[in-house]
Amino acid sequence: MAITSANQLELLQTAEAVAREKMIDPGLVIEAMEESLARAAKSRYGAEMDIRVKIDRKTGRATFTRVRTVVADEDLENYQAEFTVDQAKQYMADPEIGDTFVEEVPPVELGRIAAQSAKQVILQKVREAERDRQYEEFKDRAGTIINGVVKREEYGNVIVDVGAGEAILRRNEKIGREAYRPNDRIRCYIKDVRREPRGPQIFLSRTAPEFMAELFKMEVPEIYDGIIEIKAVARDPGSRAKIAVISYDNSIDPVGACVGMRGSRVQAVVNELQGEKIDIIPWNEDQPTFLVNALQPAEVTKVVLDEEAERIEVVVPEEQLSLAIGRRGQNVRLASQLTGLDIDIMTEEEESRRRQAEFEQRTRLFMDTLDLDEFFAQLLVSEGFTNLEEVAYVDVDELLVIDGVDEGTAEELQARARDYLDAQNKAALENARALGVEDSLVEFEGLTPQMIEALAKDGVKTLEDFATCADWELAGGWTTVDGERVKDDGILEPFDVSLEEAQNLVMTARILLGWVDPTELEEEEAEEDEDAELTADDVFAPEARA
Q: pLDDT tens-digit profile of 359-389?
A: 898 889 888 888 888 888 888 888 888 888 8
Instruction: For the beta carbon of residue 344, count every other beta carbon within 10 angstroms.
Output: 14
Cα–Cα distance, 475 to 480 (Å, whole number) = 17
Query: Helix (H, G, I), strand (E, B), or coil: what is residue 232?
Result: strand
pLDDT at 34: 77
Q: Which of 12-16, 240-244, 318-322, 539-543 has the highest mean pLDDT?
A: 240-244
Estimate the crossing angle of helix 26-45 against helix 112-138, to 10 degrees: 150
Could you read off the pLDDT of 255-292 as tens digits, one per residue? 999 998 988 999 998 988 888 899 999 998 888 888 88
Is pLDDT of 293 > 80? yes
Distance CA 210, CA 190 (A): 10
What is the model's pLDDT at position 122? 67
The pLDDT of residue 3 is above 50: no
Distance in angstroms between the alpha carbons of the first and the last residue of the chain:
67
pLDDT at 522: 67
Exposed, middle or buried: residue 36 (CB in 10 Å: 0-12, 13-18, 19+)?
buried
pLDDT score of 135 more than 80:
no
Residue pLDDT, tens place only, 177-202: 778 888 889 889 988 888 776 666 78
CA gap 388, 416 in Å, rounded: 10
State the pLDDT confidence band at 309, using cuts at 50, 70 and 90: low
Please classify residue 454 by burial: count the beta carbons closer than 10 Å to its beta carbon, then call 0-12 exposed, 13-18 middle and 19+ buried. buried
What percent of the chain clears pLDDT 70, i.e. is strictly above it?
85
Structure letter (DSSP) for residue 240: E
Q: CB-based contacts of 185: which residues, under 8 Å, 6+ apart?
A: 147, 148, 149, 150
pLDDT-based confidence at 462, cuts 50/70/90? very high
- In the predicted model, what is the mean pLDDT of residues 342-346? 83
0.75 exceeded by pTM? no
Whether residue 337 has pLDDT greater than 80: yes
**Lowest mean pLDDT across 48-62, 228-242, 297-311, 402-416:** 297-311
Per-residue model confidence (pLDDT) at position 313 = 81
**Nearest in space to 316 (alpha carbons), one of 296, 334, 330:** 296
pLDDT digits 0-9 by tens, 496-543: 888 888 889 999 999 888 888 877 766 666 665 555 454 444 433 433
Q: How far is CA 532 from the centre of its chain?
A: 20
**pLDDT tens column, 54-93:** 877 777 777 888 888 888 877 777 777 777 877 777 777 7
